[in-house]
Structure 1
Amino acid sequence: MVAPSSTYRLQLRPGFGFPEAAAIADYLDALGVGAAYSSPILTPVEGSTHGYDVADTSQANPELGGEQGRKALVATLREHGLDFVVDIVPNHMSVEVPAQNRWWWDVLEKGPASEFAGYFDIEAFPVLIPVLGSDDDIDELAVKDDRLTYYEHEFPIAEGTGEGSAREVHERQHYRLVNWRRAGAELNYRRFFDVTTLAGVRVEKPEVFEATHREVLRWVAEGDVQGLRVDHPDGLADPGGYARRLVERSGTWVVVEKILEPGEQLPESWGVAGTTGYDALREVCGVFVDQRAEAAYSELARSLDVPVDYPALVEECRQLITTTSLASEVRRIANLVVGVDPMDARRAVAELMVAFEVYRSYLPEHEQYWAAAVDRVRTAWPELTEAVTALDTQVRADPTGELATRVQQTSGMVVAKGTEDTAFYRYSRFIALNEVGGSPDHFGVPVAEFHAAQAVREARWPEAMTTLSTHDTKRSEDVRARLAVLSELPGEFADAVRRWSARVGIDEPTLNLLAWQTLLGAHPISTERMTAYLDKAAKEAKVRTTWVDHDEEFERAVADWHAAVVADEQVRDEVAGFAERITAPGWSNALGQKLLQLAGPGVPDVYQGTELWDFSLVDPDNRRPVDFEERRGILARLDEGWVPPVDATGAAKLHLVRTVLRLRRDRPELFTGYTPVHAQGPAADHVVAFERNGLVAVATRLPVSLPGWEGTTLEVPEGTWTDALTGRPFSGQVGALLADYPVAVLVRGEV
């Protein structure tokens, strides 16, 4: 396994497929990228804009250019010395359009007799398909061209069952079309989280692994793919076994999309290179947050009636998920617990899901997390002691059995839906911390903790991926960098929010506080983008409206909010003025974040377009097209010797990115080892720096309260050191080093 020097994430989609990716290979090469890293490229449901809804694992996506386009892209990447890393989705497949997934179609047609019945995680037949708008819509079924239809939906008819009315035909099938609202409590097949159109796949079975991975492994064997990124391993029955099998079969660099809580480590027995880097994101972004502001932001939230008790909020949100969208999963697990009252079993399972401090345990590894969750339930709910003890005993007796497996698969779903997709939208105290892999109740990361985490990564996971922005992040790295500035201005921000809210507030406190922070973090932002974001945020928070049960009046008020802000001249101008004030410090934080990520331990990923400033919000906002011609033009100027200022063009960020990526590619020996470097003097706390092996990265933190650099020095190992960004030699004085940029890339000797 050979890890790339770096990766550059590309979101392929119809309109930006294999030919378009090939067309920018020369740009990626010039930028210094080690590998093009693509979103899933197996065939998804038609029209997919992201590729995670794979419907056919046997071929490259025709809408991206098909096999011919894939081969042409690989050839072009090879010409430019670029590796190719591909995202794969082993946990689930799309069943949204049954006819486009031949395995699912066969299962619906033949039921348990289908050769593919064991490919999907189906509890019982008939399979419930939640597509009807209401129970009365059963009368809207029709039989057309030997298919059972419901408006645009089409389903197979088992052989010899097509006579009679549509209702009679329907009653003879191996599936039942039901009201979509029944999915949460009654669905009888495993899915991806609560998405009924993504059915769980049983890759733990050797024949299913082979069928789902045959094409991808062919690409690897033929030298077309040099790395694999595994989506959502926590949904698998046996993540460790899967990972070991994939590493053994592929023999290539493998990273897994695993969310680690602070202090948690990936099981080394998996044999993979590491995670996709959300743990690094938390560490890097957190070091730019002023921890001294925590009390002030808690007080602001409390005064606005926004929750400040994070553990209690998380518990509330997870409990909501176990009783609504994932109630069917809880029911299915409870049915496996023997010897206790069924209702107690269901409550015990639900509370156990709520109690996990990590996404899932990996029994028998990481047993301590399982034990901690069990103890928590026993303590909090004494009346459930018998049920939870029975559950614990049964799981420990057979840690690879069905009960243990389903509990582990489901805990990650509850944590993700309850925490990331609910609590993160309700706990709006300081949203720069509300990020995938983040811990909003940990107000920033101390410098010492940051250094300790990097040392662990270098020692144990030197080829793990690191990242700052992905297609799944709640907001881009540059939005978070600007929001981090607010931690240095808690009083001014609090006064402004109270003043603005009194004039143009949203009548729901958590969304109101989130909206003002978002407006500043992404400013300037169009009404269309802001409105789309707030609509999603309101529905994910599930306070006044949800994706399922709409409060139309509230949603209209939310939709009108940004326009109202713009129409209020005083608020509009004050927001613009505040945003302008935090813009330059935000640039400083953004450059600092990027340097620490790019130069630090691990394999850094650059999300598409983020080599310039990028103020995207949650998907689909962060999947907007990227202007590569603009980036080509700036890169060409840099190659001519231009040393850009730090300004709105973002050229300084591209300068930093191409400088470090090229060094990683051309001088990999510089990026080994890890030693913290400490400043001395009045502004020492405003420096975060480390040395690798002949390279020192220096970044500014807390720029608003920076008193100036006079008298502040930095001791680096002996030798002559040159800043690769400016070409200037380093004299030991931080002020001279950071005169042009808030960051420096010192290289021993001449650059």
Structure 2
Amino acid sequence: MTATYRLQLRPEFGFADAEAVVPYLVRLGVSHLYLSPVTEARAGSTHGYDVVDHNRVSDALGGRGGFDRLAAACAEHGLGIVLDWVPNHAGVGPRNWAWQDVLAYGPHSEYASTFDVDWDPLKPGLRGKVLLPFLGAPYGEALDGGDIALAYDDGRFYATYYDDRFALSPATYAALLDAALPAHEREDVYFDLKDLADAYGGVAPGEVEKAEALRLRLLALADRADVAAGLASFEGGALHDLLERQAWRLASWKTAGHEINYRRFFDINGLVALRMEEPEVFWESHRLLGELLAMDAVHGVRVDHVDGMFDPAGYLEALRELGAQHVWVEKILGPGETLPDGWCTEGTTGYEVMNDLAHLGLDADGLAVLDRVWRRAVPDAEPWDETVYESKRIVMDTSLPGELVRLATGLNRISELDYRTRDFTLGGLREALVEVVAAFDRYRTYLPHDAAEARAVAGGAVARAKARNPAAEPSVYDFVERAVSGEAAEAAPPPLAERLWAWVGRFQQYTAPVAAKGVEDTAFYRYARLLALNEVGGEPDEGALPARDFHARNRERAGHFPLNLLATATHDHKRGEDTRARLVALAAVADDWGGAVEALDRATAGLVGARGPSALDRYVVLQTLAALWAPPPSQDAEAYRADLADRLWGYVQKAAREAKLSTSWINPDAAYERDLEAFTRSAVADESVADVLAPLAERLAALGLRHTLTQTVLKLTIPGVPDLYQGTERLDLSLVDPDNRRPVDYAERAATLDRLAPLLDRPAPDDVRDLLHTGEADAKPYVTARLLRLRRDRPALFEGDYRGVEVEGDGWVAFERAGGALAVVVPQTPDRPAPATVRLGGAAWTDALTGARVEAEGGAVSTDALPTSWAVLVRD
């Protein structure tokens, strides 16, 4: 595989549009088209992860025919396809027929085991029901206001709430049909309608076959009668009485955190989790994927949120049985964590690589200065560890308390079965679980696999939880540790062991969303020492990555996961790869940044309103603005600046709400956000801010481009498969979604390749040197296309071994691959390091970027003798 190229499909950019891009991608040099989800999603979906039918290709994207034409075009051009697959969850709603069946029949539905619903929750009123927290107001207010109504469609009755609809139980159809009788009392169809109403009156909630048979009569009758004629008569108390007889209960969306009884994707009410651990669920929901994998053009699968699986290892084995040749997992690795042994996967989607490249480029001394600047700017900022702890607790208290209660209740019931543990209280177990989950240093464990590692992780978390709570009863924590680590299940007799293993699985499915929501979606927005490090899978408190550690990680990947994806941008990134590069460069100008922050504080003092923004939010605005201020060389400065205020405000509002300190998604503070927006927009337009920022921003842009080139060269040469996110072959100064999912101008990119074609085909050293060192817009596209073509034409250079190369001097990174046939030398940090000597294994080389010859006398070459600061040397 040469490289993958990620496309974000959406109704405005479907299969036909992707097909039109195929020739360009082949010219660029990638080998695989990496598609966002292609399955049927909720109406209007802009990302495809809210799948409503896993066995149907999205009509909005062009349907099965459109996909087949795209696949044929890829096959014709020698381009493979990697599919993004979403097994953890499905979007609920009108178009998810399996979900609607569950709403109609409750636990009696044949799809009841498809969705992860707790039909026996702690609250008595919800037993045998599923809570539906989709109302924008309290239930009574929505009911009395007439927002909840009834409707008929295709043989079924529904309750409706704006665009949502919820299938009614056929056991309640009799009253609906009786209400339609007065409209037909003088018609012959009256007696048929009455007969059908009487028949439905004899249907019990669990009589699915009987109800489905009657549906055929209802369909036929609806052609002759208005079966919905009496629906409007149900309002107020009458409508409430009808709704109370359903296998579900409507509620305000704000009740979800505490009482929801189906597992969600994180805390998104509209995404219900699937029970992929059940073989029949797996095979039923993967029929389409099996068909697509049988196509010549489809070469692999990217598994979304593998940590949501009850048994990730088993799921990956099933995918291999289905016919998946290559499988990558979306997985965030904690510090020191590696993928579990035995997983059927090529590796991860590359978050860890994205963060390694950022930390590699940091100036260590400059980072220490940035730390002091941050603490002066935001004096009440907590240390990173404390920020993570508090953020996880907030998520468990506000977004995911219902799942926590389910875990605590389950463990309490288990403790009652043993006289040695029955004194543990529900409250005590809940609090211990909160502390242990908050102390987890990774997303999850994978019991019953990797037992030794799981016990070490659980033991460490419990030890940290005990240390934080010295007054707590230690025996409760010891019991939790035995449960979480699997020791209790291993020692229990079979019936109890089964319950314990089921509990352990649910616990593992809980720590992952707590980590995601607590760290990525809360702590990352509270800790702003250097925003370049606040990236998916990142550790913002870690320092510069030494070259020796970078080499060690590359050797590990080369030996164990040589096809691991190498990402520097994704659809989930917090900042685009070149925005991040400019922020990395802040460490190279840290003293100047410190002075600029003081000057900016003075310049913006009059922009602060009565309610805010807070010191944290001001620092986030200024740091982000410094990175974005200078437009890309290819873009008109006036047009870029005109769009900047809107883009920055969209990001800042999201950042403030995610931080949950001054405002939030669940409880937005309108007054605070007005002040925050005014500050943000005024900072972009204020001339005194521009006077301070402009010179520093120009330096950041120049230094950022240098780091961009280093990052690009490394991504395209280290072990693994480079993954390009759509459009990022050119400079990408995007922010978090939706900013990073804006349309891509492929005509412009194709024109760039046309313009660069002579140089790409026959590099002229002087011309390439000028291109790379003068900051031109074509520098990144040139390096990207040139190295992609090298990978395509000389694949053996990028296979097999990896060896870090000795460098006499500081500030450079060098390595060899393919037994010394390829050598790469790049500056480690964005600034220009002092000359150094690199010890290579050969004497005569050709630089792939410039075409220049490089002589290494005695195997040594000075970096001054290299054609440019970025050398990709092929041994003659």
State the TM-score, normalized to the length of structure 1.
Answer: 0.95
SS of 1:270's equivalent?
coil
Residue 378 in 1 paired to residue 466 in 2? Answer: yes
| C-alpha distance in structure 2 between counterparts of 1:266 and 1:664, whole Å | 26
Does residue 323 of structure 2 align to residue 323 of structure 1? no
Q: Distance in 2 between matches of 1:359 and 1:566?
A: 38
Q: Which has the larger radius of gyration?
A: 2
CA deviation profile, 1:664-712 (whole Å, cap 9, x unmatched): 22211101310112332xxx322112111211122113243634x3xx3
- Residue of 676, 679, 690 corresponding to 1:558: 676
* Contact 2:362-2:545 within 8 A present in 1 as well: yes
| Matching residue of 2:791 | 664
State which of 497, 508, 523 in structure 2 corresponds to 1:408.
Answer: 508
Aligned partners of 2:446 and 2:848: how far apart in 1? 44
Cα distance change, pair 170–378 in 1 and its aligned pair in 2 (3 A): same
**Taking every aligned residue pair, what percent have the same amino acid on both sides?**
40
Picking from 85, 89, 106, the partner of 2:86 is: 89
Give the match for residue 518 of structure 1. 624
Q: Quote the residue 2:437 is aligned against.
A: 353
Distance 1:104 1:635 in 2: 48
AA of the residue aligned to 1:453: R
1:143 is paired with a residue whose SS is: strand
Match of 1:127 among 108, 118, 130: 130
- By how many angstroms is 1:517 displaced? 1.4
Q: Is the 8 A contact 1:275 1:464 kept in 2?
A: yes
Which of 193-202 and 299-308 deviates more? 299-308
Is 1:44 the counterpart of 2:169? The answer is no
Determine the structure 1 residue equivalent to 2:648.
530
Say if 2:143 is the partner of 1:138: yes
CA contact (8 A) 1:120 1:199 kept: yes
Superposed CA offset, 1:488-513 (max 9, x none): 11111111112212332663122221
- Identify the residue that residue 78 of structure 1 maps to in structure 2: 75
Deviates more, 1:252-261 or 1:152-161: 152-161
Q: 1:587-627 CA deviation, whole Å, 9 max, x = no partner? A: 11001011111100011101111111110011111101111
Q: Does 1:686 align with 2:814?
A: no
Aligned equivalent of 2:383: 309
Offset of 1:738 from its aligned partner?
4.7
Q: Which range is displaced more, 357-366 or 405-414?
A: 357-366
| Structure 1 SS opposite 2:94 | helix
Please tell me the residue identity of whatever aligns with 2:694: A
Paired residues, number: 737
| Residue identity matched to 1:149 | T
Name the structure 2 match of 1:199: 272
- What secondary structure, in the 3-state scheme, does the structure 2 residue paired with 1:142 have? strand
In the alignment, does 2:248 pair up with 1:175? yes
Q: Structure 1: which amino acid aligns with 2:790?
A: L
Give how far 1:58 is off.
1.2
1:392 maps to 2:481: yes
| Superposition deviation, residue 731 in structure 1 | 2.9
Q: Which residue of 2 aligns with 1:450?
A: 550
Is 1:720 the equivalent of 2:844?
Answer: yes
| 8 Å CA contact 1:217, 1:250 repeated in 2 | yes
Q: Is the 8 A contact 1:588 1:742 kept in 2?
A: no
Q: Does residue 231 of structure 2 align to residue 226 of structure 1?
A: no
CA–CA distance in structure 1, aligned partners of residues 777 and 600 of structure 2: 30
Residue 284 of structure 1 aligns with which residue? 357
One-letter code aligned to 2:854: F
CA shift in 2, pair 1:255/1:743, >3 Å:
same
Q: Secondary structure at the match of 1:640?
A: helix
Q: Is the 8 A contact 2:621 2:680 kept in 1?
A: no
Report which stretch shifted further, 666-675 or 140-149. 140-149
- Judge conservation of contact 1:306–1:427 (CA < 8 Å) in 2: no
Structure 2 Cα separation of the partners of residues 641 and 678 of structure 1: 32
User: Is the 2:361–2:830 contact (alpha carbons within 8 Å) kept by the matching residues of 1?
Assistant: no
Post-superposition offset of 1:569: 1.0
Alignment partner of 1:389: what SS?
helix
Counterpart Cα distance in 2 of 1:478 and 1:605: 15
> Following the alignment from structure 1 to structure 2, what is the Cα–Cα distance between the partners of residues 563 and 358?
38
For 1:674, the equivalent position in structure 2 comes to 802
* SS of structure 2 residue aligned to 1:87: strand
Following TM superposition, by how much is the alpha carbon of 1:196 offset from its aligned partner in structure 2, in angstroms? 0.6
RMSD: 1.7
What pairs with 1:237-256 in structure 2 (closer than 5 Å)?
237-256=310-329
Asked whether the equivalents of residues 488 and 705 of structure 1 are also in contact (C-alpha less than 8 Å), the reply is no
In the alignment, structure 1 residue 636 sits paired with structure 2 residue 754: yes
Distance 2:777 2:271 in 1: 39
Q: Per-residue deviation at 1:308?
A: 4.8
Greater CA deviation, 634-643 or 104-113? 634-643
Residue 376 (structure 1) shift: 2.2
Q: 2:84 is paired with a residue of what secondary structure?
A: strand
Name the stretch that deviates more: 354-363 or 136-145: 136-145
Measure how far apart 1:222 and its partner are: 2.9
Match of 1:118 in 2: 113
Residue of structure 2 aligned with 1:652, choices 779, 794, 799 = 779
* Letter aligned with residue 483 of structure 2: Q
Secondary structure at the aligned position of 1:197 is classed as strand
Cα distance in 1, alignment partners of residues 614 and 862 from structure 2: 46
Cα distance in 1 for residues equivalent to 2:12 and 2:6: 17
Q: How far apart are 1:160 and its partner, in Å?
A: 3.1
CA distance in 2, matches of 1:743, 1:168: 73
Moved more, 428-437 or 511-520: 511-520
For the pair 1:103 / 2:177, whether they are aligned, the reply is no
Matched, 1:417 2:517: yes
Partner of 2:186: none
Asked if the contact 2:803–2:817 (Cα under 8 Å) also holds between the matched residues in 1, the reply is yes
Aligned twin of 1:189 = 262
Question: CA deviation digits over 1:36-83, x for unaligned, max 9?
Answer: 001011111111111111111111111111100100001100111111
TM-fit CA distance, 1:551: 1.0
What letter corresponds to residue 583 of structure 1 in structure 2? A
Secondary structure in 1 matching 2:657:
helix
Given the two structures, how large is their TM-score scaled by the length of structure 2?
A: 0.82
- CA deviations on 1:382-407 (whole Å, 9 max, x unpaired) are 42423332233334233772210111
Contact conserved, 1:302 with 1:308, CA < 8 A, in 2? no
> By how many angstroms is 1:737 displaced?
4.8
Regions of 4+ moved over 6 Å: none
Q: CA deviation at 1:29?
A: 0.8
Please report how far the alpha carbon of residue 648 of structure 1 lies from its aligned counterpart in structure 2 after TM superposition.
5.7
Rounded Cα–Cα distance in structure 2 between residues aligned with 1:59 and 1:522: 41
1:302 Cα deviation after fit: 1.7
Distance of 2:293 and 2:865 partners within structure 1: 45
In structure 2, the partner of 1:152 is 163
CA contact (8 A) 2:310 2:509 kept: yes
Q: State the 1:380 CA deviation.
A: 2.6
Corresponding residue number in structure 2 for 1:480: 580
* 1:466-477 equivalent positions in 2, closer than 5 A: 466-477=566-577
Q: 1:33 to 1:70 in 2, by over 3 A?
A: same
Q: Which moved more, 1:225-234 or 1:260-269?
A: 260-269
Unaligned runs of 5+ in 1: none
Whether contact under 8 Å (1:737, 1:744) holds in the other structure is: no
What is the CA deviation profile of residues 145-197 of structure 1, one whole-angstrom value per residue up to 9, with x for unaligned ones? Answer: 33212233221111131436221111111110001111111110000000010
**Counterpart selection for 2:823 from 692, 696, 705:** 696
Amino acid at match of 1:504: T
Question: Could you tell me which of 579, 603, 612 is aligned with 2:721?
Answer: 603
Structure 1 distance, partners of 2:268, 2:529, is 29
